Amino acid sequence: MGRAPLRIWRRLLPTSGPVSGSRWLMLGSSTSPATLSRTMTRGNATVPAMEMTKWFDTNYHFIVPELGPNTKFSYASHKAVNEYKEAKALGVDTVPVLVGPVSYLLLSKPAKGVEKGFPLLSLLSSILPVYKEVIAELKAAGASWIQFDEPTLVLDLDSDKLAAFSAAYAELESVLSGLNVLVETYFADVPAESYKTLTSLSSVTAYGFDLVRGTQTLGLVTSAGFPAGKYLFAGVVDGRNIWADDLATSLSTLQSLEAVVGKDKLVVSTSCSLMHTAVDLVNETKLDSEIKSWLAFAAQKVVEVDALAKALAGQKDEAYFAANAAAQASRKSSPRVTNEEVQKAAAALKGSDHRRGTNVSARLDAQQKKLNLPILPTTTIGSFPQTVELRRVRREYKAKKISEEEYVTAIKEEINKVVKLQEELDIDVLVHGEPERNDMVEYFGEQLSGFAFTANGWVQSYGSRCVKPPIIYGDVSRPNPMTVFWSKTAQSMTSRPMKGMLTGPVTILNWSFVRNDQPRFETCYQIALAIKKEVEDLEAGGIQVIQIDEAALREGLPLRKAEHAFYLDWAVHSFRITNCEIQDTTQIHTHMCYSNFNDIIHSIIDMDADVITIENSRSDEKLLSVFREGVKYGAGIGPGVYDIHSPRIPSAEEIADRIDKMLAVLDTNILWVNPDCGLKTRKYTEVKPALTNMVSAAKLIRTQLASAKCAIRPR
Residues annotated within the binding site for 5-methyltetrahydropteroyltri-L-glutamate are 59, 465-466, 511
Residues linked to residue 320 through DSSP beta bridges, in sequence order: none
Pairing of strands 66-67, 109-110: parallel
- In angstroms, the CA 660 to CA 299 distance is 52
Report how far apart, in Å, the C-alpha atoms of 49 and of each of 39, 44, 63 are.
7, 7, 9
Identify whether the C-beta of residue 610 lies closer than 8 Å to the C-beta of residue 546.
no
Identify whether the C-beta of residue 381 lies closer than 8 Å to the C-beta of residue 498.
no
Q: What is the 3-state secondary structure (H, E, C) of 334-376?
A: CCCCCCHHHHHHHHCCCCCCCCCCCCHHHHHHHHHHHHCCCCC
Residues linked to residue 449 through DSSP beta bridges, in sequence order: 477
Q: Which residues contact 707 (CB under 8 A, 6 or more apart)?
A: none
Report how far apart, in Å, the C-alpha atoms of 495 and of each of 429, 430, 490 are.
10, 10, 10
Please provide the size of the chain in residues.
Answer: 715
- In angstroms, the CA 225 to CA 562 distance is 24
**Distance between terminal CA atoms of the chain?**
88
Nearest to 203 by CA among 152, 150, 256: 150
Catalytic pick among 61, 432, 589, 645: 645
Pairing of strands 465-467, 459-462: antiparallel
Identify whether the C-beta of residue 578 lies closer than 8 Å to the C-beta of residue 504.
yes
Number of helices and strands in the chain (H, E): 25, 21
- Tell me the residue type at 52: M
> Which residues sit in the known binding site?
59, 381-383, 434, 465-466, 511, 549, 591, 593, 602, 606, 615, 677
Q: By three-state DSSP, how is residue 137 classified?
A: helix
Report how far apart, in Å, the C-alpha atoms of 588 and of each of 158, 342, 435, 548 are.
40, 25, 22, 7
- In angstroms, the CA 429 to CA 671 distance is 14
> Which residues sit in the known binding site for L-methionine?
381-383, 434, 549
DSSP annotation string for 187-201: SSPPPHHHHHHHTT-
Pairing of strands 52-54, 61-63: antiparallel
DSSP annotation string for 204-272: --EEEEESSS-HHHHHHHHHH---TT-EEEEEEE-SSS-BPP-HHHHHHHHHHHHHHH-GGGEEEEESS
Q: Which residues contact 151 (CB under 8 A, 6 or more apart)?
A: 16, 56, 103, 184, 185, 186, 187
471-477, strands of its sheet edge to edge:
449-452, 471-477, 513-514
Identify whether the C-beta of residue 214 lies closer than 8 Å to the C-beta of residue 154.
yes
- In angstroms, the CA 390 to CA 438 distance is 10
645 counts as catalytic: yes
CA-atom Rg of the chain in angstroms:
26
Identify whether the C-beta of residue 100 lies closer than 8 Å to the C-beta of residue 150.
yes
DSSP annotation string for 447-488: TSEEEE--SS--EEEETTEEE---EEEEEEE-SS-SSHHHHH
* Helix H or strand E segment including 289: helix 289-292
Catalytic residues: 645
